[in-house]
Chain A
Amino acid sequence: MKLAFRIASRFLLSSRGQTILILTGIIIGVSVQVFIGSLIDGLQKSLVDSTVGSSSQVTIESVERNQTFPLSDDLLADLDRRSDLTAVSPVFSASAFMVDDEATWPVLMRGFDFARAEPIYKTEAQLAAGRLPAGTGEVLLGTGLAELTGYTVGDTLMVLTPSGDTRDLLISGIFDLKVASLNETWLLSDLATTQALFAAGDEVSAVEMQVEAVFAADETASLLADSLPADLKVTDWKVENEQLLSALSGQSASSYMIQVFVLLAVLLGISSVLAISVVQKSRQIGILKAMGIRNRTSRQIFLIQGFLLGLIGALAGVGLGLGLSAVFSTFVRNADGMPLVPFYFDPVFVSLSFLIAVAAATVSSMIPAGKSAKLNPIEVIRNG
């Protein structure tokens, strides 16, 4: 093996131009593969994040539609203890009207414990003006609704419930959730204020949660469902976003296809260059065999060349691919200055790409290696 390595590395070094050419091929191939893989991965992560990153990923609701249910302290404490959940936020939602002397606007009142809801909705970051409600009797207004009604921070608005109760609430801030329909219809207040407004006691309409592993939300949901009373059900974002998921898996599939074909092109490149190399070095292989080198060793000479090319090419290729991804996310930005696709480094994907490239390079040298093993020294010696 040592001798084969010595000869293989010397062969590679002596045909420097050829080695650089094939290395460049591998580096470009592997870097394109890593770049595309990371890009698609990053794109999907950012897509999922923008779709469900700021909303409930797993939700406990009553089995019956629009029914509230009592949330026991024990259940809440149990949910808080679970390590697969990153945020647990009870919420009370109900339809109402915002009224003044001239007009009426339909709204959805949503009551949160703002401390608990913050990891899910990042409300504070989405405030266009003012501050979060500090105590009971305060409310946040969407930018759309603020425009429609002309209300602003510090004003008092009146809410009318379906049962005819009214209540004045002080506007502590204005939010912008970047979704027009929500900005025009939502009123956010604290849980106690909302429950009191609708005379709901301690009941909630849902418990909204975020999970540690976004794509395993369905598994977390089904685990949760097992431990809940029969009148409660658990839904997860995957059920509600089937179209997105199918788009993502379609995207993944096309990304895999591109990666496979890029890799295949690299393999064919290595294989053909090494096949030429066997012909070029047949004189040397022939004389080595005349001197007593074994067929196994002459095979190893080309396998090791494939391995070395793969190793160096994959290392540099992975580096270049990640570099390209970083450059892409740094310089290709949206109008708001955020990266179009955020840089995403998945160590598992990158290590796998590296290992596959090295293994594939070694495997693709098997045909030339076989030729080298079969080469009969007499052919070289007889023909000069």
Chain B
Amino acid sequence: MADIIRLEKISKTYGTKVKTQVLFDIDLAFAEQSFNAIIGQSGSGKSTLMNIIGTLDQPTRGEIWINQIRTTDMNADQLASLRNETIGFIFQFHYLLPEFTVMENVLMPWRIRGLPVIKEVRDRAEELLDTVGLSKVHNNLATALSGGQQQRTAIARALINQPKIVLADEPTGNLDSATTDTVYQLLRQINRKMKTTFIIITHDKRVAEQADRIVEIKDGRIEMDVRNPI
């Protein structure tokens, strides 16, 4: 399978006077349709790596190809379009828009794309909400949901534009273990059904073990990179 994400010699240094290097010459590639876990301790640099993959942060050195497109020379608007069309984000803190309903939150990336919300899109949103088990609350305000429901809404939102990549940063960090399991089953199911590439940062060993591949980051370097035989 071709690589959908390729990082070449990625370094990241924060600060101007006191410099702190958090990533050191990372070379990493992810295959299309794969389900990957990135693990590592707090402060290891895994979230920085994830933000750089998602084009939210820029590396100090090195280059990134997303979907065979080199992102180094892209301007803010081009990066915004790339994110909107190619990448779905699921964050630890849900980040739904509290002013909007569940359905409106799910449709937001589509509206940002500038396309009209035709019936087909609305049907897709309904289907996604159905998949994540939220079809009954789609007219509720995002703030009226439980943590697990909010995270599942964020998953539906990440998928509305049918992105090739979904980046999830500790998507279950704030959830109890039962809900964590449900959410991971869901992500895996979506990965199989929609052929979406998943890169998930997690602390949870049990979750990581179910991934196709585990990359461990330690002190800004790749400490371990194993492919799961199952």
Contacts and interface: CB of A to CB of B under 8 A. Distances in A.
A and B associate: yes
B97 interface: yes
Given A3-B112, A6-B111, A381-B51, A291 B99 contact: no
A283 B95 contact: yes
A289 B80 contact: yes
B98 interface: yes
Nearest to B94: A287
B208 to A, nearest CB: 22
A293 B99 contact: no
Nearest to A292: B84
B59 interface: no
Contact of B100 (A10, A283, A291, A381): A10
Chain A: interface size category: 20 to 34
Contact of A382 (B47, B77, B85, B95): B47
Interface in B12-51: 47, 51
B112 A293 contact: yes
A207 to B, nearest CB: 72
Contact of B81 (A6, A292, A384): A292
B91 interface: yes
A296 to B, nearest CB: 8
Contact of A293 (B47, B54, B80, B85): B80
Contacts of B111: 3, 6
B97 A284 contact: yes
Contacts of A377: 56
Nearest to B108: A291
Interface residues of B, number: 30
Given A3-B112, A291-B112, A294-B77, A381 B91 contact: yes
B99 A284 contact: yes
Contact of B56 (A290, A294, A295): A290
Contact of A290 (B83, B96, B113): B83
A18 B80 CA distance: 31
Contacts of B93: 384
Contacts of A296: 77
Contacts of B81: 292
A294 B91 contact: no
Nearest to B160: A291
Contact of B80 (A3, A7, A294): A294
B83 A291 contact: yes
Q: Which of A283, A290, A295, A378 has the most CB of B within 10 A?
A: A290
A378 B57 contact: yes
Contacts of A384: 92-93
Interface string B110-126: 01111000000000000
Nearest to B89: A290
B78 to A, nearest CB: 10
A288 interface: yes
Contact of B77 (A11, A288, A295): A295
A288 B97 contact: yes
A226 B77 CA distance: 67
B53 to A, nearest CB: 13
Contacts of B91: 287, 290, 381
Interface string A47-69: 00000000000000000000000
A10 B56 contact: no
A382 B49 CA distance: 12
A292 B57 contact: no
A10 B80 contact: no
Given A3-B112, A295-B77, A290 B54 contact: yes
Nearest to A383: B93
A377 B97 CA distance: 14
A173 B61 CA distance: 103
Q: Which of A6, A283, A378 has the most CB of B within 10 A?
A: A378
Nearest to B84: A292
Given A377-B56, A378-B56, A378-B57, A292 B99 contact: no
Nearest to A281: B99
Contact of B108 (A13, A14, A288, A295): A288
B121 to A, nearest CB: 14
Nearest to A295: B76
Nearest to B97: A284
A287 B113 contact: no
Interface string A350-382: 000000000000000000000000000110011
A292 B47 contact: no
B95 A287 contact: yes
B171 interface: no
B109 interface: yes
Contacts of B99: 7, 10-11, 13-14, 284
Nearest to B158: A291
B77 to A, nearest CB: 5
A290 B82 CA distance: 10
Contacts of A13: 99
10 contacts: A11-B99, A284-B99, A287-B97, A291-B109, A291-B112, A292-B85, A293-B80, A294-B77, A381-B95, A384-B93
Instruction: Pick the 6 closest A-B CB pairs, nearest first.
Output: A292-B84, A14-B99, A287-B95, A10-B99, A292-B83, A292-B80
Interface of A: 3, 6-7, 10-11, 13-14, 283-284, 286-297, 377-378, 381-382, 384
Given A10-B100, A287-B97, 18 more contacts: A13-B99, A14-B98, A284-B97, A287-B91, A291-B89, A291-B108, A291-B157, A292-B109, A292-B112, A292-B113, A293-B80, A293-B112, A296-B77, A378-B51, A381-B51, A381-B56, A381-B91, A381-B95
